[in-house]
Amino acid sequence: MKKLTGSLLVSFLLLAGLGTALSQEKSGGMMGPPPVLVVYREVLKPGKMGMTHEKTESAFVQAYAKAKWPTHYFAVDSLSGHPRSLFFVGYESFAAWEKDMLATQKDHVLAAALDRAGVADGDLLSEAEGLVFAFNPKYSLRPTVDIAHMRYFEIEVFHVRPGHHNEWEEAVKLVMAAYEKMPDVHWDTFGTVYGGEDESYAIFTPLKSLAEVDKAFAQGKEFETNMGEEGMRKLRELERSAIASSSSQLFQFNPRMSYPPDAWIKADPDFWKPKMAAAPKKSEKEPTKQ
């Protein structure tokens, strides 16, 4: 199924909705997407992922926690592609983002702590960049999810050919119409505002477990039935016309590099506030180093 029509079909086949860190909380712990999403991307030097990166990132978390900073974020680590980490921060508006930046600059103690953490973290990085997205409800389906209990993200990015926006939009409408008949499918789409190509979109899939990927592939037949033979043919044509390039990657949530809101910690404390393992006690019979 993953080879059936190429990247456009695959992205929507596997989508299951994004509720990001700073999104609005709904009833029952459900989260909706923020209007503005800021993503920081760090590409690690070989051998610098894992505990090495977690150690430097913990300095940022500790600085924000000490300052009792109201803006939260969470991190994911790559399971495919280049070794990298992504950090997600959501805002109600661009004005809210500006307010947060200015407040950080005015808090000299926090700013100094972040500068020190940045120097140590920078030694591990081969590349870093910031991307800014705006939520696109028109291209999203059932966006509210229980993000606090998710463990993985599949992130698919599409670059639309210049002058082919209409074909892209038509393709999205076709896919959405087919999936509206499948109540357990949902996704969120964000359009790039700054840091990306002229017209590009990021689509996020939060997953409780990787078994959900297996389930998504199994839904392929139902999708084909809903689309119909003519709809599938049309979708392939639109994809070839509209999409310049695309990529699909898998990431795992990392609570040790995250500064989650209290609601998330309350919802799943074992995950979002992991206890550090106690150092093993030295056995009396164990020889000591001379």
* CATH at 36: 3.30.70.100
The rounded mean pLDDT for the chain is 86
Instruction: Answer whether residue 287 shows pLDDT above 50.
Output: no
Does residue 46 lie in a domain region? yes
Does residue 274 lie in a domain region? no
Per-residue confidence (pLDDT) for residue 23, from 0 to 100: 43
- Round to whole Å and give the CA distance between 22 and 172: 26
- Report residue 30's pLDDT band, with 50, 70 and 90 as the boundaries: low
Per-residue confidence (pLDDT) for residue 24, from 0 to 100: 43
Extract the tokens encoding 159: 């670059």
- Round to whole Å and give the CA distance between 131 and 192: 7
Instruction: Answer whether residue 240 shows pLDDT above 50.
Output: yes
Strand-pair partners of 22? none
Does residue 237 lie in a domain region? yes
- CB of 272 closer than 8 Å to CB of 258: yes
Does residue 260 lie in a domain region? yes
Among the residue ranges 1-15, 93-107, 202-216, the one predicted with the least confidence is 1-15
pTM comes to 0.85
Does residue 277 lie in a domain region? no
Domain holding 110, by residue range, is 7-267
* pLDDT tens-digit readout, 142-198: 887 889 999 999 998 999 999 999 999 999 999 999 989 888 887 889 999 999 878
- Round to whole Å and give the CA distance between 24 and 175: 27
Total tally of structural domains belonging to the chain: 1
* pLDDT tens-digit readout, 48-83: 999 999 999 999 999 999 999 999 999 999 999 999
- Round to whole Å and give the CA distance between 11 and 253: 20
Does residue 155 lie in a domain region? yes
Per-residue confidence (pLDDT) for residue 20, from 0 to 100: 36
Please report, in angstroms and rounded to a whole number, the separation of the first and last CA atoms in the chain.
62
Instruction: Name every residue whose Cβ is closer than 8 Å to that of residue 171 and which is 6 or more positions away in sequence.
Output: 8, 235, 238, 239, 242
Per-residue confidence (pLDDT) for residue 276, from 0 to 100: 53
- Round to whole Å and give the CA distance between 229 and 225: 8
- Round to whole Å and give the CA distance between 230 and 250: 32
Does residue 123 lie in a domain region? yes
Per the rule left: phi > 0, alpha: psi between -120 and 50, beta: everything else, 53 is: alpha
Mean pLDDT of 127-150: 92
In this structure, which amino acid lies at residue 155?
I
Per-residue confidence (pLDDT) for residue 274, from 0 to 100: 82
Does residue 288 lie in a domain region? no
